[in-house]
């Protein structure tokens, strides 16, 4: 890459930390990735589980980003009426290549007018509220519509990030071809094959796994 791939996580008080820390771990491993935690006010943010995140910058001080990620959480309701926050989402989304959300974060994108006429995922308990913003709620774990990728509740955030990774241009998504990723895929494949042997032959998993590994070396 010739320049940084800027990823901004638009946080707020009482955000669900896993909504953004899961995707953070995926996006932070992209070549040239520069991940920023930002909110309306700089300083620190306390998540809804009590964890405090320091070093949060002001959204207004972020010039632009390649990817915008909006998490959800118990603080979503307050942010739906925070015009300053919604304004910053609209501003950053205007030039972002990719717009993403996790859980009730899609409601915040919708409230900012960024999902009008689109399909989107959301936490199951809040999903139907998307209709009020002219958005079609979809029960899938991950939904992609144009340059917008939305994830369902909490743990779907990692799936959303991986789905986004799959559509990045090759120069950005080069992580997919790194040797360590290839080794991880081989390990997963070996475990799957071992499980099949356990079911088919009734042998212990350790023995089945070793047999698969030995076959791979030949």
Sign for the pseudo-dihedral over CA of 143, 149, 152, 154: positive
Whether residues 170 and 192 fall in one domain: no
| Domain containing residue 163: CATH number | 3.40.50.880
Helices (H), 38-176: 76-79, 83-93, 105-111, 156-167
Each residue of 106-137: pLDDT tens digit? 999 999 999 999 999 999 999 999 999 999 99
Check whether residue 198 and residue 167 sit in a common domain: no
In a shared domain, residues 199 and 112: no
pLDDT for residue 195? 76
Residues 47 and 125 in one domain: yes
Known catalytic residue: 103? yes
pLDDT number for residue 179: 43
| Boundaries of domain holding 15 | 5-174
pLDDT greater than 70 at residue 86: yes
Number of domains observed in the structure of the chain: 2
Residue 102 tokens, joined: 């996790």
18-73 pLDDT, tens per residue? 999 999 999 998 888 999 999 999 999 999 999 999 999 999 999 999 999 999 99
Q: Are residues 72 and 24 in the same domain?
A: yes
Are both 127 and 80 inside the same structural domain?
yes
pLDDT of residue 197: 82
Residues 65, 69, 103, 122: which is the catalytic one? 103
Q: What is the structure's pLDDT at 199?
A: 82
Residues 170 and 190 placed together within one structural domain of the fold: no
* pLDDT per residue as tens digits for the range 137-156: 999 999 999 999 999 988 89
Residue 100 and residue 82: Cα distance in Å, rounded? 19
């Amino acid at each position: 890459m010739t320049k940084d791939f800027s990823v901004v996580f638009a946080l707020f008080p009482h955000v669900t930390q896993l909504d953004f820390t899961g995707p953070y771990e995926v996006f932070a491993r992209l070549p040239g990735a520069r991940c920023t935690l930002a909110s309306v006010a700089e300083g620190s943010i306390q998540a809804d589980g009590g964890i405090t995140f320091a070093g949060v910058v002001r959204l207004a001080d972020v010039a632009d980003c390649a990817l915008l990620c909006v998490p959800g959480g118990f603080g979503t309701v307050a942010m739906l009426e925070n015009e300053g926050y919604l304004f910053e989402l609209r501003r950053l989304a205007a030039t972002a290549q990719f717009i993403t959300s996790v859980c009730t974060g899609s409601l915040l994108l919708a409230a900012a007018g960024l999902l009008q006429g689109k399909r989107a995922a959301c936490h199951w308990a809040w999903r139907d509220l998307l209709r009020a913003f002219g958005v079609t709620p979809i029960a899938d774990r991950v939904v992609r519509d144009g340059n917008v990728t939305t994830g369902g509740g909490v743990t779907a955030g990692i799936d959303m990030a991986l789905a986004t990774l799959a559509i990045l241009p090759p120069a950005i998504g080069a992580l997919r071809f790194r040797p360590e990723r290839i080794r991880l895929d081989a390990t997963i494949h070996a475990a799957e094959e071992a499980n099949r042997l356990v079911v088919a032959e009734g042998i212990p998993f350790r023995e089945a796994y070793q047999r698969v590994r030995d076959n791979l070396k030949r």
